[in-house]
């Protein structure tokens, strides 16, 4: 064993030394830019080419290199250059060596580079080429080359046009293709059979994609490292029959729209049901369930009518949200899930209503409000009137959006991209899930007997629900932008008077806890607002510049009213494990605050097919288009993705060699 261990060490270091000392033979590898002067043109598009001449078993790589390798990258040395470069990849070959499958090129080829003119007549600049060449060993290269582009002088190159012909054309409908999501992380691609043998490769900006043809010339399976529902960017599928080359860009929302609608309906119903357990909704619905304790003696029909009005209020409010989104879409506007919390007047209204509800439960109305108003509020909050039940359902819906579960984020995001009928169906499904507790009482009215009848316990429980609603009103006050001192004074008056009106132990405890927490908050207010890491404010132009500079970036799109965002912040983003990792690796952190309406932030999350928050995206040298994280975060998930987008050994060596 000892000698085997020594041999492995020797073998490892000998390979490392070989890679360091090995140099390609003279004239076996040539890399040049074409043309030397002038410009290449096809139709109304302008190009130059990167010509590789590879001999003696050398190869370089496609944009998805397979099990190993790195693709070619090209950039201006001057990052302020307004002319944009788009590197095009000809259709590749597959190489299998020692059970390692790679995708790339050997022999001679030209990589076309499409360039935007921007009304320049000439461009004399330096481009940076980063590429990897492999034979027995792999050698990274990073070199600078001068290029002179004269847009008035169009030249011809046979090798360039041969390679350009092999670049898959986007959606030319050459091939009849059927794509199905046959598993959570697998796509099945079937091409209409002919007498020709097909080749197929896949590429994703967010995940690894491995193609297996299972001994078939027309049926392929694409295995992904990520779940389909976690991917926001299209999957690109390149197909060739040896004569024609086509690229299909498959948008996952389009795939799911036709094949997985039932899945999203299920997620919507499940997410709607889970909303009943969320802190935003629980006080309102607990209040109604509490009121049911007084109706157990009523007839089944009376119980059914109470539930029907609650259900009616929930469904109507969700449909109002759906129709609001439809109308805004028709007018060319786009809104996100929870948009009502960005409206100041809505916050004022909800603050007032919830505060009134809480005051009623805390015993205020007997001494403060006129009899008529007292009776009206009592009917709306405690009595099981039609209006009271209906409004309870509506208020619960309006408060539910900041507590949306991951299932809801997926389902709502899907509906926002679909037709009006799909929007209607998804929001109706959410409302059905939200109504399930009341549907149970509607179908089995006598199950209301499981709620204990009114008694001494109801006094304390009523007060407890009043506290919950009062805390909800304080939260809404803070969202509405009221001064912290004013909120504290109003809250203090409420707490003191409620304690005078109620001689139960819970009221004494409420007073003590409130003032202790308030004291701690004001004494350590600044510390409460200090993040363990520095978060920069979101700016799209700044973000794009940081991406170009190969920085590793974590973007957090959040809002003060987003409860799920707060949970992610507490459990993950502010955790010691993640913050230490961020500091150690000099990761740039950017926070986009969507508390108030912001079109730039909305348009940004739309790029990832998201219309609600939380949204967390990671960028790095390996994924400049960004990787979308799941809605519920853990430190391990974030760290794993940060490692995935970060600078690998090849890129480190390239950076060193370029410097």
pLDDT, tens digit, for every residue of 432-442?
888 888 888 78
For residue 214, what are its two tokens? 């299972």
DSSP string of 588-629?
EEEEEE-SS--HHHHHHHHTTT--SS-EEEEEETTEEEEEEP
pLDDT-based confidence at 529, cuts 50/70/90? low
Res 418 pLDDT > 70: no
Classify residue 654 as exposed, middle or buried by CB count within 10 Å of its CB (0-12, 13-18, 19+). Answer: buried
What is the arithmetic mean of pLDDT over 354-376? 62
* Residue 50 CB coordination number (10 Å): 23
CA distances from 164 to 58, 76, 114 (A): 22, 22, 10
Better-predicted residue by pLDDT, 291 or 511: 511
Residue 44 CA neighbour count, 13 Å, CB half: 0
pLDDT-based confidence at 555, cuts 50/70/90? very high
Res 283 pLDDT > 80: no
Residue 627 CA neighbour count, 13 Å, CB half: 28
Confidence (pLDDT) at 87:
94
Which pTM does this prediction carry? 0.52
pLDDT-based confidence at 430, cuts 50/70/90? confident
| Residue 191 backbone phi and psi in degrees, to 5 | -105, 135
Confidence (pLDDT) at 247:
92
Confidence (pLDDT) at 566:
80
Minimal CA–CA distance to 550: which of 424, 655, 394? 655
Res 395 pLDDT > 80: no
Task: Classify 539 as helix, strand or coil.
Answer: coil
Res 508 pLDDT > 70: yes
Res 295 pLDDT > 60: no
Res 521 pLDDT > 80: no
Torsion of CA 507, 508, 514, 516, to 10 degrees: -170
What is the arithmetic mean of pLDDT over 297-303? 69
Q: Identify the helix (H) or strand (E) that includes residue 224.
A: strand 219-224
Minimal CA–CA distance to 63: which of 179, 205, 172? 205
Minimal CA–CA distance to 129: which of 83, 70, 80? 70
pLDDT-based confidence at 469, cuts 50/70/90? confident
Better-predicted residue by pLDDT, 492 or 385: 492
pLDDT, tens digit, for every residue of 125-181?
899 999 999 988 888 899 999 988 888 889 999 999 999 999 999 876 778 887 876
Confidence (pLDDT) at 515:
81
Confidence (pLDDT) at 588:
93
Residue 504 to residue 501: CA distance in whole angstroms: 9
């Amino acid at each position: 064993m000892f000698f085997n261990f020594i041999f492995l060490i020797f073998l490892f270091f000998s390979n490392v030394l070989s890679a360091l000392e090995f140099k390609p033979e003279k004239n076996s590898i040539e890399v040049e830019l074409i043309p030397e002067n002038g410009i290449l043109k096809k139709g109304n598009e302008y190009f130059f080419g990167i010509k590789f001449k590879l001999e003696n078993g050398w190869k370089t790589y496609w944009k998805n290199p397979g099990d190993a390798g790195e693709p070619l990258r090209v950039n201006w040395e001057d990052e302020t250059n307004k002319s944009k470069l788009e590197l095009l990849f000809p259709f590749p070959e597959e190489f299998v060596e020692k059970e390692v499958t790679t995708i790339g090129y050997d022999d001679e080829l030209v990589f076309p580079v499409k360039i935007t003119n921007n009304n320049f007549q000439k461009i004399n600049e330096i481009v940076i080429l980063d590429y990897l060449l492999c034979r027995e060993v792999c050698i990274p290269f990073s070199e600078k080359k001068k290029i002179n582009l004269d847009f008035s002088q169009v030249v011809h190159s046979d090798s360039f046009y041969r390679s350009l012909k092999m670049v898959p054309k986007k959606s030319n409908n050459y091939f009849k293709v059927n794509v199905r999501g046959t598993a959570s992380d697998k796509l099945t691609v079937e091409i209409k059979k002919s007498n020709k043998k097909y080749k197929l490769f896949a590429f994703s900006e967010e995940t690894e994609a491995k193609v297996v043809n299972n001994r078939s010339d027309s049926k392929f399976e694409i295995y992904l490292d990520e779940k389909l529902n976690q991917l926001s960017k299209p999957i690109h599928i390149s197909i060739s029959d040896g004569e024609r080359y086509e690229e299909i860009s498959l948008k996952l929302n389009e795939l799911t729209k036709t094949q997985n609608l039932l899945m999203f309906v299920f997620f919507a119903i499940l997410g709607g049901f889970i909303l009943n357990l969320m802190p935003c909704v629980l006080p309102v619905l607990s209040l109604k369930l509490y009121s049911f304790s007084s109706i157990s003696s009523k007839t089944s029909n009376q119980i059914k009518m109470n539930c029907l009005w609650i259900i009616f209020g929930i469904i109507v409010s969700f449909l109002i949200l759906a129709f609001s989104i439809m109308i805004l879409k028709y007018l060319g506007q786009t809104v996100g899930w929870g948009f009502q919390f960005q409206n100041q007047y809505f916050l004022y209204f909800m603050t007032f209503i919830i505060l009134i509800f809480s005051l009623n439960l805390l015993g205020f109305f007997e001494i403060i409000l006129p009899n008529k108003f007292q009776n009206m509020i009592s009917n709306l909050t405690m009595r099981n009137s039609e209006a009271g039940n209906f409004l309870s359902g509506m208020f619960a819906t309006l408060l539910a959006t900041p507590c949306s579960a991951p299932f809801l984020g997926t389902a709502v995001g899907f509906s926002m991209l679909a037709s009006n009928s799909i929007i209607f169906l998804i929001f109706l499904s959410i409302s059905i899930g939200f109504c399930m507790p009341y549907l149970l009482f509607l179908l089995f009215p006598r199950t209301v007997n499981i709620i204990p009848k009114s008694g001494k316990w109801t006094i304390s429980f009523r007060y407890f629900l009043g506290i919950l609603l009062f805390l909800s009103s304080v939260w809404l006050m803070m969202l509405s932008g009221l001064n912290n001192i004013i909120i504290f004074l109003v809250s203090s008056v409420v707490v003191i008077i409620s304690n005078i009106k109620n001689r139960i132990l819970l009221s004494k405890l409420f007073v003590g806890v409130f003032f202790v927490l308030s004291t701690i908050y004001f004494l350590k207010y600044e510390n409460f607002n200090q993040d363990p890491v520095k978060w920069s404010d979101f700016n799209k132009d700044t973000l794009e510049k940081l991406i170009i500079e190969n920085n590793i970036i974590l973007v957090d799109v959040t809002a003060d009213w987003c409860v799920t965002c707060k949970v992610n912040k507490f459990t993950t983003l502010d955790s010691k494990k993640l913050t230490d990792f961020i500091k150690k690796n000099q990761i740039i952190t950017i926070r986009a605050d969507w508390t108030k309406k912001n079109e730039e932030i909305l348009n940004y999350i739309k790029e990832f097919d998201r219309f609600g928050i939380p949204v967390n995206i990671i960028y790095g040298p390996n994924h400049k288009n960004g990787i979308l994280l799941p809605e519920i975060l853990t430190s391990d998930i974030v760290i794993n993705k940060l490692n995935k987008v970060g600078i690998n050994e090849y890129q480190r060596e390239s950076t060193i060699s370029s410097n």
